[in-house]
Amino acid sequence: MSNEYGVFSDNPQTEWLSEAGGDRNMKLLRDFSYTDPDGKVWLAPTDSVINGASIPAPLWSTVGSPYTGDYRNASIVHDVACDLAQTAADREAADKMFYFACLAGGCGTAQARLFYLGVRIGAWGTGQAGWMAKLKPQNLLFRSRAEPRLPEEELIRNKFDSVRSKLETLADTDGFDKLEALVNAELK
């Protein structure tokens, strides 16, 4: 973990929750936090329930599925920050934090950019007349390949692919502000 991108408090302590449905939720057994490069502490308190990031399920094969890879710790504080967000600005701040937390967790710049795009598309989709509710993982993961994709899946996949191709025009040295401007312009 690099101070340049922020630091995590320690290794998270969690337990799986057995529930009806996807059994994807975990509960934090002790406080866990991330301190961002500006010194802001993003706390995920004991007993917070997390589910491994707000990246839409249709993007898991491209961006990453819950609880895998170097973004796991970032997903914990991001889940809690999104739950606490009261405004679009709060959500955007949480997504920015997620980008830097991904870098702090060991993701490379290109991967952190994709994860950032994934959570921004998740926020964008939430505002699209409720269609994100149709994309819940249990609706997507347990159907046969012969079943047609939902129109909402195609919309989110197409939007992601369109913006991802534009992300590839960014130089490795381009900072977060340029990334954020590009993504925000594409998700209007």
The neighbouring-strand residues paired with 43 are: 33
pLDDT band at 142 (very low <50, low <70, confident <90, very high): very low
- Of the chain, the percentage scoring pLDDT greater than 90 comes to 57
Measured CA to CA in angstroms, residue 44 lies from 50, 73, 109 at distances of 9, 10, 24
Question: What is the pTM (predicted TM-score) of this model?
Answer: 0.85
Q: What is the pLDDT of residue 21?
A: 62
Q: What is the pLDDT of residue 135?
A: 46
Q: What is the pLDDT of residue 109?
A: 95
Among 17-21, 67-71, 74-78, 140-144, which stretch is predicted with the lowest mean pLDDT? 140-144
Our CA angle for 103, 106, 110, nearest 5°, is 55
Q: What average pLDDT does the structure give for the chain?
A: 84
Residues 156, 76, 26, 121, Cα dihedral to 10°: -10
* Distant-in-sequence, close-in-space partners of 74: CB < 8 Å, separation ≥ 6: 34, 53, 98, 101, 102, 104, 105, 107, 115
Domain boundaries, the chain: 7-186
- Are 155 and 131 in contact, with CB atoms under 8 Å apart? yes
99's tokens? 């980008």
pLDDT band at 150 (very low <50, low <70, confident <90, very high): low
* Distant-in-sequence, close-in-space partners of 140: CB < 8 Å, separation ≥ 6: 57, 58, 153
pLDDT in tens, 34-85: 999 999 999 999 999 998 766 767 777 777 777 778 999 999 999 999 999 9
Q: Which range has the top average pLDDT, 66-80, 89-103, 130-144?
A: 89-103
Q: What is the pLDDT of residue 63?
A: 77
- Are 103 and 112 in contact, with CB atoms under 8 Å apart? yes
Q: What is the pLDDT of residue 67?
A: 74
What mean pLDDT comes out for the span 2-17? 91
The neighbouring-strand residues paired with 28 are: 14
Q: Does residue 138 carry a pLDDT above 50?
A: no
Among 14-28, 55-69, 138-152, which stretch is predicted with the lowest mean pLDDT? 138-152
Q: Does residue 137 carry a pLDDT above 50?
A: no
List, in sequence order, the alpha helices (H) in 44-175: 72-84, 88-104, 109-126, 137-141, 151-167
Measured CA to CA in angstroms, residue 134 lies from 20, 74, 89, 150, 184 at distances of 18, 25, 25, 9, 24
Q: What is the pLDDT of residue 152?
A: 72
